[in-house]
């Protein structure tokens, strides 16, 4: 768990500079107490955890890749695995994370709605992927 949380922390800090440290710490605590325990978690382990994805039913709660291992296809591999097990996948991403938005759009996720994140006031984008029929 500690290695997975380290990946979460380093990736979150690198990709979300607009979030306050207190929020990231609270999010890490939620990962420790709830997400990693209640959600199905897939990890990419290559001599250490390099990436992980947490999913419950059709919703991906978290997908994080350790910054030194980004752009090597790890996130795509985890996402492809999730998509192979479902006909519909949903996830949310902060609008101020354009790199993640571009990644998900390349992976054929489309915007469903925009909303305000209740803790941060930031805009959150709900995305959806559907298997082709």
Query: For the chain, what is the mean pLDDT?
Result: 94
pLDDT surpasses 90 at 117: yes
pLDDT for res 132? 86
- Tokens at residue 39, please? 């959600």
pLDDT surpasses 90 at 84: yes
pLDDT for res 118? 92
Specify the CATH number for the domain of residue 85. Answer: 3.40.630.30
Euclidean distance between CA atoms 52 and 64, whole angstroms? 6
pTM score: 0.92
Structural domain that includes position 69: 2-130
> Above pLDDT 90, what percent of the chain?
93
pLDDT for res 45? 87
Long-range CB contact pairs, 16-25, < 8 A, 24+: 16/94, 16/96, 16/97, 18/94, 18/96, 18/122, 19/94, 19/120, 19/122, 20/120, 23/119, 23/120
Q: Please compute the mean of the pLDDT values over residues 85-101 and round it to a whole number.
A: 95
pLDDT surpasses 80 at 73: yes
pLDDT for res 10? 94
Euclidean distance between CA atoms 123 and 98, whole angstroms? 12
Number of domains present in the structure of the chain: 1
pLDDT surpasses 90 at 27: yes
Q: Please compute the mean of the pLDDT values over residues 68-73 and round it to a whole number.
A: 93
């Amino acid at each position: 768990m500690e290695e997975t949380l380290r990946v979460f922390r380093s990736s979150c800090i690198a990709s979300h500079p607009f979030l306050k440290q207190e929020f990231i710490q609270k999010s890490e605590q939620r990962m420790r107490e709830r997400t990693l325990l209640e959600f199905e978690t897939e990890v990419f382990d290559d001599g250490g955890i390099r990436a992980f994805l947490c999913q419950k039913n059709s919703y991906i709660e978290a997908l994080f890749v350790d910054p030194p291992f980004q752009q090597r296809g790890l996130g795509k591999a985890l996402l492809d695995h999730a998509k192979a097990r479902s006909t519909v996948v949903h996830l949310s991403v902060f609008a101020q994370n354009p790199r993640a938005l571009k990644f998900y759009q390349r992976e054929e996720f489309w915007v469903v709605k925009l909303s305000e994140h209740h803790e941060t006031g930031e805009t959150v984008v709900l995305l959806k992927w559907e298997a082709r029929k």
